[in-house]
Amino acid sequence: MQRMLSGILDAKGSGIWSVGPEDTVFDALETMAEHNIGALLVLDGDDLVGILSERDYARKVKLLERGSRETRVSEIMTTEIRTVGLDSTVTECMESMTEHRIRHLPVLDDDGRIVGVISIGDVVKAMIAQQSDMIDQLERYITT
């Protein structure tokens, strides 16, 4: 029984936090801290142009001793964006995240609009629930 992302987003909520490409990295970090999240979508209007993660900050600002107040999001954001659809399974998300070494996947509806973001934590939680359901079903099958 594969869980679909629509169910995860229904349970988690589909709040989307974003910044613009011309915002400062400092402003983006404040937004991440305020919402206790590890990544933000970078939107230019309604267009998804990148993702900014704590990893981007650590590797492209902090380690290079750049200033977060002077650096623009567009200078350090990840522009190779992997997305998934609402009909994607948890397993497919895990495979994509593992293969591409990413921790966040924007979720798009059938019209290509962003409807949420799935994190590696969401995927792991869903996989654990999926396995627990499978174990319960097998135990009921064995005892009947």
Average pLDDT on 17-45 reads 96
Token digits for 132? 């627990």
pLDDT at residue 3 tops 80: no
Domain ranges, ordered by start, for the chain: 5-143
**Buried-exposed string 94-107: b where 16+ CB fall within 10 A, e elsewhere:** eebbeeeebbbbbb
Q: Which CATH superfamily hosts domain 5-143?
A: CBS-domain (3.10.580.10)
pLDDT at 65: 78
Antiparallel, parallel or unpaired: β 47-53 and 18-19: unpaired
Average pLDDT on 11-37 reads 92
Average pLDDT on 103-128 reads 90
Token digits for 51? 């993702």
pLDDT at residue 66 tops 60: yes
The more confidently predicted of residues 138 and 96 is: 96
pLDDT at 2: 52
Distance in angstroms between the alpha carbons of the first and the last residue of the chain: 20
Which positions ≥6 away from 107 have C-beta within 8 Å?
A: 5, 9, 14, 83, 84, 85, 86, 88, 114, 115, 116, 117, 118
pLDDT at residue 1 tops 50: no
pLDDT-derived band at 67 (thresholds 50, 70, 90) equals confident
Taking every pair of Cα atoms in the chain, the longest distance, rounded to a whole number of angstroms, is 66
Average pLDDT on 112-124 reads 90
Distance CA 44, CA 42 (A): 7
Average pLDDT on 104-132 reads 89
- 7-16, 36-45, 111-120, 121-130: which range is least confident on average? 7-16
Token digits for 71? 């650096």
